[in-house]
Amino acid sequence: MSTEQGDFRKIRRLESSNAFLQVLLLLAILLGMNYLAARFYTRTDLTRSNEHSLSLETRAYIEKIDPENPVRIIVTLLAKPNDTDEEIQTRLEVEKILREYAYHGNRQGTARIIVEYVDVFRQRERARELAMEYNIQQGDSILITSGERKRLIPASHLRALQERSGVLVGFRGEELFTSAILHVTRKEKDKVYILDGHGELLLDSADPERGMTEASAFLMKRNIELEPLNLLLARKVPADARLVIIASPQSEFSENEVILLKDYLRKRNGRVLVCLDPYFKHGLEDLFRDWGIDVQDKLVMEPSADRQAAQSGATLIREFANHQITRTIGASHIPVLMGACRPVQADLGAPLDESLRVTSILRTKEQSWAETDYRKLEKSLPGPRDIPGPISIAAVAERQIGQQGINIAGGRLTVFGDSNWISNAWFNRRGNRELLHNSVFWNLDRYTSLNIPPRPLKEYELTLDAEEFSSLRGRLLLLPLGILVLGGICIWSRRH
């Protein structure tokens, strides 16, 4: 009897351990399968036009990210109780699109893109770390970083607004995120040369009027290497020049210098940014004519509404074109503060050139005018020889190269009719920093001309009158009633 009981106990124990092993095996399968699934997965967009997928361009750039130096995307968009619909929608769109970036950044289980969401109010410790490491001072933004490079994208830049009404019509996330990824994964530093030899603003001078240390420090922090260049001595534009800045020349350029600049722009698809002042002859007329820009020897007069600005001889510019350089400034409604300006506009008499596109990017108010006799200026009203406002005071000329429908960005010439705005005294005022930032970045292709349009944000509407609504409600109710009738028929037929 006791042997039998012992055998039963043994069998029970064996069964128990067997069951235990089965459970362990099942759990191991569960963990193993999910571990692999999390690393190796695919996503398929069923929509006809792949409207939720990233563009081929973005995917190609993500493919090139070095897995050893992944891109980190740190999102600090905050959910607040009084969030507007636009803010909520922006946050949702960011989350959706970043899931696509994370997916395409994942290859063979290695993450090229790591997305992290940080609530700076709740995750205090992490917020402090971010502030220390990346100098993030504000929430509500997206930081994209890789190695030492970083770019901060404020949430407001993600929204594409209708030009006049300001209504949210699209989401610019992909364009901005991809551009930022390109920027932070770029290995080499961009070299920018600042011309001297004509009394230009000085790169290393702290003088408020004639120095530009503020601007140079600002650019150097953004991984841009600045170096002065005297064309008369160097006799060439260096091979590594990605951009040449001419800031406030006080004397004329020689013919040779102009030829060097022309060759740099035309033959090497170079980029030149010029800030001119009224009163001074510059000798660059030939270059400007070649690029379809007309810089006139006039002075822009503006009856300023801003008393403080008027007293300091400044002009507040609030009219911006929808161009990469000025779009974000216009969207944030921050004016740019300029000094005395000369008109800079597209040359209407220039020969027709299909590869050249000239865009006026800054304009003064309608009440302003361009004064011709400004040197002997006594009057304060426009005369018959003057040009009525609004006056264009900055323009960009860009050439497309290529053939058979394939267009590649060629040389670019950007001309501002004032240079005060980049001097130490003016640089940190109003939208001036952003204007220089955008101008330089655009010229350096850091806003690589991504052909990614904003994603339209749709609103779905149903317009029915009360009668149609009530009829629809009644007809939809037929479905549950139909099931009840079907059940009744089934049961009745079974019983009979």
In whole angstroms, give the CA distance from residue 223 to residue 150. 10
The tokens of 20 are what?
Answer: 């235990």
Q: Give, in order, the Cα–Cα distances in Å from 47 to each of 59, 412, 454, 460.
A: 18, 39, 18, 17
Q: Does residue 165 bind another protein (CB under 8 A)?
A: no
CA dihedral (305, 310, 314, 316) in degrees, to 10, reads -10
Contact 61, 14 (CB under 8 A): no
CB of 124 to another protein, least distance (A): 8
- List 10, 13, 43, 80, residue binding another protein (CB under 8 A): 43
Q: Does residue 56 bind another protein (CB under 8 A)?
A: no
Q: Does residue 131 bind another protein (CB under 8 A)?
A: no
Contact 331, 161 (CB under 8 A): yes
Rg (CA), the chain: 32
Task: Identify any residues that bridge with 245 across adjacent strands, giving them in sequence order.
Answer: 194, 273
∠ CA 412-328-116, rounded to 5°: 110
The tokens of 232 are what?
Answer: 């008369």
Q: Does residue 479 bind another protein (CB under 8 A)?
A: yes
Q: Does residue 13 bind another protein (CB under 8 A)?
A: no
- List 164, 462, 466, 467, residue binding another protein (CB under 8 A): 462
Q: Which residues contact 480 (CB under 8 A, 6 or more apart)?
A: none
Nearer to another protein by C-beta: 376 or 475? Answer: 475
In whole angstroms, give the CA distance from residue 471 to residue 444. 61
| Residue listed under structure tokens 């961009």 | 190
Q: Does residue 127 bind another protein (CB under 8 A)?
A: no
In whole angstroms, give the CA distance from residue 244 to residue 193. 5
- List 148, 354, 480, 496, residue binding another protein (CB under 8 A): 480
Nearer to another protein by C-beta: 30 or 377? Answer: 30
The 411-450 contact track toward another protein, x by CB under 8 A, reads ----------------------------------------
Q: Which stretch binds another protein (CB under 8 A): 37-45, 361-369, 370-378, 406-414?
A: 37-45
In whole angstroms, give the CA distance from residue 175 to residue 327. 13
- List 7, 15, 204, 255, residue binding another protein (CB under 8 A): 15
- List 55, 57, 78, 119, residue binding another protein (CB under 8 A): 119
Q: Does residue 8 bind another protein (CB under 8 A)?
A: no
- List 164, 187, 494, 496, residue binding another protein (CB under 8 A): 494
Residue 115's nearest CA partner among 130, 97, 133, 127 is 97
Nearer to another protein by C-beta: 349 or 480? Answer: 480
- List 66, 117, 207, 256, residue binding another protein (CB under 8 A): 117
Nearer to another protein by C-beta: 117 or 279? Answer: 117
Q: Does residue 132 bind another protein (CB under 8 A)?
A: no
The tokens of 76 are what?
Answer: 């600090």
State which H helix or E strand residue 129 sits in: helix 124-134
∠ CA 60-63-69, rounded to 5°: 135
* CA within 13 Å, CB half, 297: 9
**Residues in 90-109 at the binding interface with another protein, rule: CB under 8 A:** 96, 99, 103
Q: Does residue 45 bind another protein (CB under 8 A)?
A: yes
Nearer to another protein by C-beta: 108 or 403? Answer: 108
Nearer to another protein by C-beta: 20 or 279? Answer: 20
- List 38, 131, 220, 408, residue binding another protein (CB under 8 A): 38
- List 10, 14, 29, 217, residue binding another protein (CB under 8 A): 29
- List 41, 109, 220, 355, residue binding another protein (CB under 8 A): 41
- List 44, 82, 165, 308, residue binding another protein (CB under 8 A): 44
Angle formed by the axes of helices 56-63 and 173-185, nearest 10°: 20
Q: Does residue 305 bind another protein (CB under 8 A)?
A: no
The tokens of 213 are what?
Answer: 């240390």
Q: Does residue 116 bind another protein (CB under 8 A)?
A: yes
In whole angstroms, give the CA distance from residue 414 to residue 431. 18
Q: Does residue 63 bind another protein (CB under 8 A)?
A: no
In whole angstroms, give the CA distance from residue 128 to residue 120. 8
Cβ neighbour number for residue 374 with a 10 Å cutoff: 17
CB of 317 to another protein, least distance (A): 36
CB of 60 to another protein, least distance (A): 20
| Chain positions contacting another protein, by CB under 8 A | 15, 19, 22-23, 26-27, 29-30, 33-34, 36-38, 41-48, 52, 89, 96, 99, 103, 116-117, 119, 122-124, 126, 457-464, 468-469, 471-473, 475-481, 483-484, 486-488, 490-491, 494
